[in-house]
């Protein structure tokens, strides 16, 4: 299951303990981008090389769990320090929030706000190329449902009317599926390209080339 917050994931895990809960990759990227825009918004939109470098940390979501720290410290940090040292503020934010800060004079780290196991998708994508990385399908449904409501704060009567209309539409779609009729627009869930890259991780000599 893919969720947008850790609290949602914890609640979901309480009810469905057998499920593998992952953070939405889109929300991870949003978090990084907000930090970038705090200081570098203009440069981000005018310098493509700088913009790509600033987003490198988000790609750690597709690096093997046991390689994430190594990739951040020895590959991404080294590259950023040489080419875009001003971006170290973004890397430091990501490290503190998603890996935990290194405790002085030890090799241990503080507990991060979001554990690596929560936001890293490598294992799931490697095992199943159809595993969703984001909650876009759910959010798409919510946007569609909101179009049935004429106000942002509908009355109870109009809300239940919208629910009934949605249920009618859902029953209709299910009947069509059972009859072998697929929707005219199908969302592509097969991340075959990303899956191929993930399973060939060991073939790359450097995470930056990956």
**pLDDT for res 149:** 77
DSSP-assigned states of every residue in 121-166? -HHHHHH-TT--SSSHHHHHHHHHHHTT-SSSS--HHHHHHHHHHH
Q: pLDDT grade, residue 85 (50/70/90)?
A: very high
Where on the phi/psi map is residue 119: left (φ > 0), alpha (ψ -120 to 50), or beta? alpha
Percent of the chain past pLDDT 90, that is, above it, reads: 39
Task: Please write the tens of the pLDDT for every residue from 29-66.
Answer: 999 999 999 999 999 999 999 999 999 999 999 999 99
**pLDDT for res 14:** 72
Question: Angle at Cα 69 formed by Cα 67 and Cα 75, nearest 5°?
Answer: 85
Beta-bridge partner residues of 172: none
């Amino acid at each position: 299951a893919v969720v947008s917050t850790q609290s949602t994931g914890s609640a979901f895990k309480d009810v469905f303990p057998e499920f593998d809960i992952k953070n939405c990759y889109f929300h991870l990227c949003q978090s990084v981008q907000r930090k970038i825009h705090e200081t570098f918004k203009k440069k981000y939109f005018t310098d493509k090389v700088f913009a790509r470098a600033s987003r490198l940390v988000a790609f750690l979501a597709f690096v093997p769990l046991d390689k994430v720290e190594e990739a951040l410290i020895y590959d991404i940090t080294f590259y950023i320090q040489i080419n875009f040292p001003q971006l170290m503020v973004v890397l430091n934010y990501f490290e503190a929030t998603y890996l935990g800060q290194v405790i002085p004079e030890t090799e241990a780290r503080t507990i991060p706000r979001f554990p690596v196991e929560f936001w890293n998708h490598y294992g799931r994508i490697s095992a199943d190329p159809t595993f969703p990385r984001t909650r876009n399908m759910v959010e798409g449904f919510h946007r569609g449902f909101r179009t049935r409501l004429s106000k942002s704060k509908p009355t109870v009567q109009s809300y239940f009317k919208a629910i009934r209309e949605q249920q009618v539409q859902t029953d209709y779609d299910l009947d069509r599926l059972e009859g072998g009729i697929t929707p005219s627009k199908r969302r592509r869930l097969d991340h075959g390209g990303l899956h191929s890259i993930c399973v060939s991780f060991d073939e790359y000599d450097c995470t930056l080339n990956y």
